[in-house]
Amino acid sequence: MKSLKLVCMAMLCMAVSLVSCSGEDGETGPQGPAGAAGVAGTDGADGADGISCWDLNGNGVGDAEEDVNNDGNFDAMDCQGADGVDGADGADGVDGVDGADGADGVDGNANVQQLVFDISDEANYSSLDFDLTTLPNPVTNYAFLYYIQQPNGLRYSIPGGLNGNQFYTRVLLNTNSGSVFINFHNASTDAVAVVPQGLYSQVIIVAIELTNTGKNSENIMAELKAAGVDTSDYNQVAAYFGLE
């Protein structure tokens, strides 16, 4: 028993000696290199397909009632909603300033008269005269265009040269009597020319009323020219005024 106590005491003394003789801890050493990457794990399972916007019942199949726009296809166009109600109209803007008045146009055909005189029975004449007092207003209220027609329907503007320029015409308007005179002259001598019967069949006079104060024949001719009407061409004048 005494021997056991001695042994225990000896072991205790040894332990104390070991503890009292241990030194202080040293500094932490540098970090070692990173280890190699581990092997990649396997891919996860694919997620389930989403539901298309047109697939109203979610069965993944295009059904007749899901073709909303009736184009035979099942796509995003079927997912568009109906047009909304139109918005209210905005308030009217302020009226702009009136522009300047344009120039007066040529009088309409309601103010244009056409007088046709038959001369087919006139024989060997040097002048013709016609009464214009049948017009609704005095002759001073009109601008006149004159034409002479052959039996074949060809019409020529007068005054001017006729019959291959063998003779020419002069037109005189007597505003007092309301008559117009057409005189024929030899083109080479200026002498009075004699026109044989049957060479011409009609004289056509177009009377254009001067409806605006201050307007005269020159104004009418200028306005017709500006409108692209050749007054020497009866057909253009007739078409413009609706005379035929």
Q: What mean pLDDT is predicted for residues 77-82?
A: 70
Q: What is the CA 146 to chain-centroid distance, rounded?
A: 41
Whether pLDDT at 106 is above 60: no
- Per the CB < 8 A criterion, the answer to whether 179 and 129 are in contact is yes
pLDDT band at 56 (very low <50, low <70, confident <90, very high): confident
Q: What is the tens place of the pLDDT at every residue in 175-203?
A: 999 999 999 999 999 999 999 999 999 99
Average pLDDT, the chain: 82
- pTM of the predicted model as reported, rounded to 2 decimal places: 0.56
Which is more confidently placed, 13 or 78?
Answer: 78
- Per the CB < 8 A criterion, the answer to whether 202 and 148 are in contact is yes
Q: What is the tens place of the pLDDT at every residue in 17-52?
A: 544 444 566 677 778 787 788 788 788 787 677 777
- The structural architecture, per CATH, of the domain 109-236 is Sandwich (2.60)
At residue 30, φ and ψ (nearest 5 deg) are -65, 155
Q: What is the CA 222 to chain-centroid distance, rounded?
A: 30
